[in-house]
A = this chain, B = another copy of it.
Amino acid sequence: MVSPTAENYLKALFSLTAERGEVNITELSHLLQVKLPTANSMIKSLHEQGWVSYEKYKPLSLTPKGKKKAALIVRKHRLTEMYLVDKMGFGWEEVHEIAEQVEHIDSTIFFDRMDELLGNPNVDPHGSPIPDKNGEIQQKNHDPLGVFKPGEKAKLVALAHSSSDFLKFLNRRELLLGAELKIESIENYDNSMVVSYENHPFETFSKVVCDALLVERLV
């Protein structure tokens, strides 16, 4: 129905439109690392096939049909990542590249079995939600650690993004999803936070890091 290439376009549109609901082709072409005319002509074709709403010179968005399609690819991606971590012992920083390929496999039984063996998880190893079989996604609105005050406690539940560098940064500090963080103090100078968690008393995290750590308040 759609090629892996087209699937990657839909997925890119899905994440780019997640907040604003609209994207321009330039952003899309940057994310996908293709030239502007390449993205332009693919968009025309996706529009003709009913995946994308689009008028010349206007920003674009996914149709409901396109959004569902994209969510189901994201589902395959995130199930795969979860499977690779939970069942095959990969680190959370190793799985994205593999999932980027596995997500294009066309086999209902394969992904259904993964889902079953994992016990129908609803988040991937980075805390991102896994859309259900209908492409519905329940967006949790987590706060970044940065909004908390000294003395408060919070549990790490997700990451704002999962770049390899960020994941390795967290690995080096043994900070995992589920960790209970206590804010010890905040530096006025650069808004960095001093935080304690299991076996790591008084770690200092820059503002950049704190904004990427998504947490839930504890008691």
- Which A residues form the contact surface with B (CB < 8 A)? 84, 87-90, 94, 97-98, 101-102, 105-107, 109-110, 113-114, 117
Contact = CB atoms under 8 A, between A and B. Distances in A.
Q: Chain A's interface: helix, strand, loop or mixed, by majority?
A: helix
A58 to B, nearest CB: 35
B105 A101 contact: yes
A13 B37 CA distance: 38
Contacts of A107: 97-98, 101
A109 B94 CA distance: 9
Tally of this chain's copies? 2
A98 B104 CA distance: 12
Contacts of A117: 88-89
B105 A98 contact: yes
The 9 closest A-B pairs by CB, nearest first: A101-B105, A98-B107, A98-B110, A88-B113, A88-B117, A102-B105, A94-B109, A97-B107, A101-B106
20 contacts: A84-B110, A87-B87, A88-B113, A88-B114, A88-B117, A89-B113, A89-B117, A90-B109, A90-B113, A94-B109, A97-B107, A98-B105, A98-B107, A98-B109, A98-B110, A101-B105, A101-B106, A101-B107, A102-B102, A102-B105
